[in-house]
């Protein structure tokens, strides 16, 4: 995240103006592509979040089912239960991070397009 105190705004605007002058009419095309890329990145995060949810649910279900086939009270059944909980605990923060990132990219693509353009200068 950028700190406003450390940003040389005058120099940044000078770079953006020179970039706009160099690109002329292509600038609007580059901007449209950059905004579209932000949407694509948001869709990618959404897809990854859905994939992690599917893998986590499948892993939890498989471990719980495996634990039920073992004798109750055996060491392996406790291991299966513990691993099923670990799968959920590990996947939950990853899912939340992916969903938050996807929402941020999809709901504010112009900001991220400008952020990427500034970062590329």
Q: What is the tens place of the pLDDT at every residue in 38-67?
A: 999 999 999 999 999 999 999 999 988 888
Tokens 């504010």 found at: 108
Domain count of the fold of the chain = 1
Lookup: tokens for 15: 């770079």
Residues of the chain with pLDDT under 50: 1
Q: Residue 5 falls within a domain, yes or no? A: no
Residue 1 lies in a domain: no
Confidence at residue 37, expressed as pLDDT on a 0 to 100 scale: 94
Residue 58 lies in domain: 28-120
24 secondary structure, DSSP code: T
Let me know the angle formed at the C-alpha of 111 by 37 and 25, rounded to the nearest 5 degrees.
65
pLDDT of residue 1: 47
Q: Do the domain assignments include residue 10?
A: no
d(CA 17, CA 104): 27
**CA geometry: angle 32, 29, 40, nearest 5 deg:** 35
pLDDT in the model for residue 59: 92
What are the distances in angstroms from CA 41 to CA 22, 76, 117?
Answer: 27, 41, 15
Average model confidence (pLDDT) across the chain: 86
Per-residue model confidence (pLDDT) at position 32: 87
| In a domain? residue 14 | no
pLDDT (0 to 100) of residue 4? 55
Is position 114 within any domain? Answer: yes
Residue 2 maps to a domain: no
The DSSP code for 25 is T
Taking the model in full, what pTM does it have?
0.75
**Domain annotation covers residue 12:** no
41 assigned to some structural domain: yes
């Amino acid at each position: 995240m950028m700190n406003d105190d450390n940003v040389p705004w005058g120099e940044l605007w000078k770079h953006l103006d020179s970039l706009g002058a160099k690109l002329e009419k292509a600038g609007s095309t580059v901007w449209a592509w950059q905004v579209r890329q932000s949407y694509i990145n948001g869709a990618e995060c959404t897809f990854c979040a859905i994939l992690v949810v599917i893998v986590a649910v499948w892993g939890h279900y498989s471990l719980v089912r495996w634990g039920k086939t073992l004798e109750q009270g055996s060491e392996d059944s406790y291991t299966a239960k513990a691993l099923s909980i670990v799968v959920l605990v590990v996947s939950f923060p990853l899912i939340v991070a992916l969903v938050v990132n996807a929402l941020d990219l999809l709901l504010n693509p112009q900001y991220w397009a400008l952020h990427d353009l500034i970062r590329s200068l």
